[in-house]
């Protein structure tokens, strides 16, 4: 049965990929070598720009995708031996101020007037890069994978300038060839440009994109045609050293202050123009923004995304294998409980059809946890098939060095000698992106038979302008183990069909509306149903970009192990308990172009043990654009249960202040009060980007006990990092 399902998906992929002709192949922008030097100043006064071809007459994507855009945008591109150049004239459509959050880097797309470039240097319609800016010059850069997925945590070295005029704003940028990956000799790249104008609530693109897809969808790129093959990047070696000093103190357990004096280094070595070697020695990630906390009322582990730079470039080769709850590799397992000593990674394209990735990381011992030194190795290879689909294989190995199980204290967690995973995956992306899907198998190996498990999962999704449906099923055996992965649940079968429909009325206020439905059923490996999570919803999206959704939900859970419904250490419901709950939810987000924004969600209905759960989440935002952005996010949960639990209230409150003095100086203060874990966290981060991709960070962190209001621990870190091209 498993093999036949995989075969069916492969046959569907072959059928949908019969024609490999690019959809927007007639949209061509010819790029010529610059006829004069170009100064990045937001002024179009160079001869090179007079000689450059213009990409104009953008197509509207939303609110409708059947006409040219009202907002006029002109794009020119050029290059020299070292840089790819871009200048964009973003004309006004209506009078009024620009809508931006701040000068903060990697801004929220839907809350800013912005221009974005989507670049596919291999013209494989699957992987690429994005660069852009909002109307006051805040930069945006990210790496793209799987056709349209964007990772904005990626950061690289480039320069840009935005200048505002009465009737337009101009964005000019220089992107070093050393900052991107491309194949030598290829003279046609995939390219598209996206413009969001919040005053008219219009999103547009140079090459037309159907409105059900993001403007970043690489299946719909046009062609950037080079007059000559792009110049070779030449010796491409970057060394990124850091120096760090810090002090911390544990007030809760007493003791003297602990001081940090550290140095480390990252290095990027271009093996070819499309294959990169990354090295790291004694890395430190203290400048990474703290995770946004949530109230955890779930039975399973929560997922938090990776933000550390070393793991990001070509990270999809490793991290995108599987599904959100079946990941054989999850890089946050490395280095959070033990210091990373060194690591190396080779990743990128061999040619248009083949990508490879290999990474090894070494951590040190942690004596207090009886944790030995460990090595983490992951290898992946990907082969493109058809126009956009691919087949991938992955191998993940975690090995404990000098492992002595007898030396592990009984009260300490026992770490296995090794854990390995081997997997194969077919990823379907049809030529027009209407059909997407995945089929995968995984096998785990361990030092005993308890860790030798199996996984199979597959899905097939169809997304037209009106109708969307998806079928997904999963099987995870009881003994499947991925110690370097994220698999919060084991020992189940799952089926999950979903369907949705949208109408697009000719209305002055409503952009689209329609229902969605989902049924998710879980069974244990003996065939007994353990979960039924179902909902029916109705969504209304307004032309102002505000959004309202209401849900009716039904949940059935047969507990497979004891569970405390408050997740606070109280008495647990016994294994085998049946729990039924109906609920009603609402969600609303206001139009993003307002200076004052707000949103809320509610949940009213049943809960475990015939109890009730009432949840309210509110988000408020106010900006003094472009310099200050204020935000407040709060969640209140009231759990009403019979004795011995009684009533439990949980508050989670998180005010945030972003001060962006310029687009290179940032100050962020984030406070989180989490009543469930009885903690108040204060994190203040100052960042000065004194040169491209080179920073000075000052990070202050406090954790407090709410009652009594006492300091638990406190730390201060100063970090200097510089990107040096050799």
pLDDT tens for residues 287-333?
Answer: 666 667 777 778 777 777 777 778 877 888 898 899 989 999 998 88
pTM of the model: 0.86
Report d(CA 206, CA 548) in Å as an integer. 30
Class of domain 2-226 (CATH, top level): mainly beta
Please report the pLDDT score of residue 517 as a whole number. Answer: 98
Please report the pLDDT score of residue 95 as a whole number. Answer: 85
Specify the 3-state DSSP secondary structure of 24: coil
pLDDT tens for residues 212-271?
Answer: 999 999 999 999 999 999 988 777 898 999 999 999 999 988 888 999 999 999 999 988
Contacts of 541 (CB under 8 A, 6+ apart): 510, 511, 512, 513, 547
Please report the pLDDT score of residue 2 as a whole number. Answer: 46
Please report the pLDDT score of residue 365 as a whole number. Answer: 86
Please report the pLDDT score of residue 18 as a whole number. Answer: 47
Looking at per-residue pLDDT, the higher value among 611 and 448 belongs to: 611
pLDDT tens for residues 428-445?
Answer: 999 899 999 999 999 999
Report d(CA 262, CA 264) in Å as an integer. 7
Domain range list for the chain = 2-226, 305-463, 511-677
Please report the pLDDT score of residue 8 as a whole number. Answer: 59
Residue located via tokens 């609303």: 588
Please report the pLDDT score of residue 216 as a whole number. Answer: 94
Looking at per-residue pLDDT, the higher value among 5 and 477 belongs to: 477
SS3 letters for 110-149?
Answer: HHCCEEEEEEECCCCCCCEEEEEEECCCCEEEEEEECCCE
Please report the pLDDT score of residue 283 as a whole number. Answer: 85
- Across residues 581-585, what is the average pLDDT? 96
Q: How confident is the model at residue 186 (pLDDT cuts 50, 70, 90)?
A: confident
Q: Give the alpha-carbon dihedral of 42, 46, 51, 56, to 10 degrees.
A: 10
Please, are residues 175 and 158 in contact by the beta-carbon 8 Å criterion? yes
- Across residues 609-617, what is the average pLDDT? 95
Please report the pLDDT score of residue 406 as a whole number. Answer: 64
Contacts of 210 (CB under 8 A, 6+ apart): 61, 65, 220, 465
Is residue 696 scored above 50 in pLDDT? yes
Is residue 16 scored above 70 in pLDDT? no
pLDDT tens for residues 619-669?
Answer: 999 999 889 999 999 999 999 999 999 999 999 999 999 999 888 999 999
Please report the pLDDT score of residue 350 as a whole number. Answer: 87
Looking at per-residue pLDDT, the higher value among 16 and 531 belongs to: 531
Over the chain, what is the mean pLDDT?
90
Please report the pLDDT score of residue 7 as a whole number. Answer: 56
Classify domain 511-677 at the CATH superfamily level.
Porin (2.40.160.10)
Please, are residues 669 and 684 in contact by the beta-carbon 8 Å criterion? yes
- Percent of the chain scoring above 70 in pLDDT: 94
Q: How confident is the model at residue 414 (pLDDT cuts 50, 70, 90)?
A: low
pLDDT tens for residues 466-485?
Answer: 999 999 999 999 999 999 99
- Percent of the chain scoring above 90 in pLDDT: 68
Is residue 202 scored above 90 in pLDDT? yes
pLDDT tens for residues 58-91?
Answer: 999 999 888 999 999 999 999 999 999 999 999 9
Looking at per-residue pLDDT, the higher value among 365 and 586 belongs to: 586
Strand-pairing partners, residue 604, are 584, 614
Looking at per-residue pLDDT, the higher value among 620 and 400 belongs to: 620
Please report the pLDDT score of residue 369 as a whole number. Answer: 67
Contacts of 263 (CB under 8 A, 6+ apart): 241, 242, 243, 244, 282
* H/E element, 13: helix 2-16
- Across residues 132-148, what is the average pLDDT? 92
Helix residue ranges, H only, 71-113: none
Please report the pLDDT score of residue 520 as a whole number. Answer: 97
> Of 524, 380, 520, nearest to 459 (Cα)?
520
| Most confident segment among 7-11, 73-77, 124-128, 397-401 | 73-77
Is residue 3 scored above 50 in pLDDT? no
Classify domain 305-463 at the CATH superfamily level.
Porin (2.40.160.10)
511-677 matches 2-226 in CATH topology:
no
- Across residues 559-580, what is the average pLDDT? 91
Cα end-to-end distance, the chain, whole Å: 55
Please report the pLDDT score of residue 407 as a whole number. Answer: 56
**Taking CA 539 as the corner, what is the angle to CA 536 and CA 541, rounded to the nearest 5 degrees?**
175
Report d(CA 367, CA 362) in Å as an integer. 16
Please, are residues 135 and 98 in contact by the beta-carbon 8 Å criterion? yes
- Across residues 332-350, what is the average pLDDT? 88
Please report the pLDDT score of residue 172 as a whole number. Answer: 98
Query: What does each C-alpha distance from 87 to 163, 170, 375, 551 come to in angstroms?
Result: 11, 7, 46, 45
DSSP 182: -
| Token pair recorded at residue 516 | 């969605």
């Amino acid at each position: 049965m498993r093999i036949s399902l995989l075969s069916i998906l492969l046959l569907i992929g072959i059928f949908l990929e019969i024609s490999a002709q690019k959809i927007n192949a007639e949209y061509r922008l010819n790029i010529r070598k610059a006829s004069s030097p170009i100064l990045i100043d937001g002024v179009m006064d160079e001869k090179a720009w007079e000689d450059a071809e213009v990409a104009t007459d953008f197509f509207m994507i939303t609110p409708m995708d059947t006409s040219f855009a009202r907002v006029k945008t002109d794009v020119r591109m050029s290059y020299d031996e070292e840089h790819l150049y871009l200048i964009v004239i973003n004309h006004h459509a209506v009078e009024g101020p620009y809508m931006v959050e701040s000068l903060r880097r990697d801004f929220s797309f839907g809350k800013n007037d912005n221009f974005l470039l989507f670049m596919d240097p291999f013209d494989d319609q699957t992987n690429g890069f994005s660069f852009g800016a909002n109307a006051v010059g805040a930069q945006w850069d990210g790496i793209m994978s799987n056709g349209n997925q964007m990772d904005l945590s990626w950061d690289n070295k480039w320069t840009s300038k935005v200048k505002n005029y009465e009737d337009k704003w101009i964005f000019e940028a220089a992107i070093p060839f050393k900052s991107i990956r491309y194949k030598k000799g290829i003279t046609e790249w995939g390219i598209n440009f996206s413009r969001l104008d919040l005053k008219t609530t219009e999103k547009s693109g140079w090459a037309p994109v159907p409105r059900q897809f993001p403007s970043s969808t690489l299946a719909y790129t046009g062609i950037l045609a080079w007059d000559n093959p792009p110049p070779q990047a030449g010796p491409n070696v970057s060394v990124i050293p850091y120096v760090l000093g810090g002090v911390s103190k544990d007030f809760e357990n007493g003791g003297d202050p602990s001081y940090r004096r550290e140095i480390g280094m990252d290095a990027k070595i271009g093996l070819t123009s499309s294959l990169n070697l990354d090295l790291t020695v004694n890395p430190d990630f203290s400048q990474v923004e703290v995770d946004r906390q949530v109230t955890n009322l779930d039975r399973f582990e929560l997922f938090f995304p990776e933000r550390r730079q070393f793991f990001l470039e070509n990270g999809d080769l490793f991290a995108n294998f599987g599904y959100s709850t079946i990941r054989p590799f999850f890089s946050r397992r490395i280095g959070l409980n033990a210091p990373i000593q060194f690591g190396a990674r080779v990743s990128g394209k061999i040619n248009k059809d083949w990508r490879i990735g290999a990474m090894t990381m070494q951590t040190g011992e942690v004596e207090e946890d009886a944790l030995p030194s460990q090595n983490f190795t992951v290898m992946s290879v990907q082969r493109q098939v058809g126009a956009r689909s691919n087949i991938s294989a992955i191998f993940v190995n975690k090995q404990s060095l000098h492992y002595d199980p007898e030396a592990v204290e009984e009260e300490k967690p026992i770490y296995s000698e090794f854990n390995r995973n081997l997997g194969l995956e077919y990823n379907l992306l049809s030529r027009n992106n209407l059909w997407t899907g995945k089929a995968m198998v995984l096998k785990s190996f361990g030092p005993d038979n308890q860790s030798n498990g199996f996984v199979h999962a597959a899905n097939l999704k169809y997304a037209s302008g009106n109708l969307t449906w998806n079928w997904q099923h999963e099987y995870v055996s009881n003994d499947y183990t991925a110690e370097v992965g994220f698999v919060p649940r084991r020992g189940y079968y799952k089926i999950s069909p979903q369907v949705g429909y949208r109408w697009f009325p000719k209305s002055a206020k409503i952009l689209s509306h329609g229902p969605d439905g989902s049924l998710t059923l879980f069974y244990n490996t003996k065939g007994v149903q353990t979960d039924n999570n179902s909902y029916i919803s109705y969504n209304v999206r307004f032309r102002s970009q505000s959004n309202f959704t209401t849900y009716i939900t039904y949940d059935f859970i047969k507990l497979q192990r004891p569970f405390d419904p408050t997740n606070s250490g109280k008495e647990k419901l016994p294994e085998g308990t049946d729990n039924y709950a109906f609920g009603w939810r609402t969600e609303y987000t206001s139009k993003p172009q307002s200076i004052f924004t707000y949103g809320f969600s509610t949940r009213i209905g049943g809960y475990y043990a015939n109890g009730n759960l009432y949840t309210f989440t509110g988000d408020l935002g106010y900006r003094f654009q472009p310099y200050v952005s204020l935000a407040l996010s709060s969640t209140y949960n009231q759990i009403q249960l019979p004795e011995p639990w009684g009533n439990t209230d949980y508050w989670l409150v998180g005010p945030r202040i972003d001060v962006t003095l310029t687009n290179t100086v940032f100050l962020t203060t984030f406070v989180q009060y989490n009543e469930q874990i009885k903690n108040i966290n204060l994190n203040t981060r100052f960042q000065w980007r004194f040169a491209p991709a080179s920073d000075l960070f000052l990070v202050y962190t406090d954790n407090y006990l709410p009652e009594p209001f006492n300091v638990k621990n406190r730390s201060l870190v100063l970090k200097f990092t510089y990107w040096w091209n050799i």
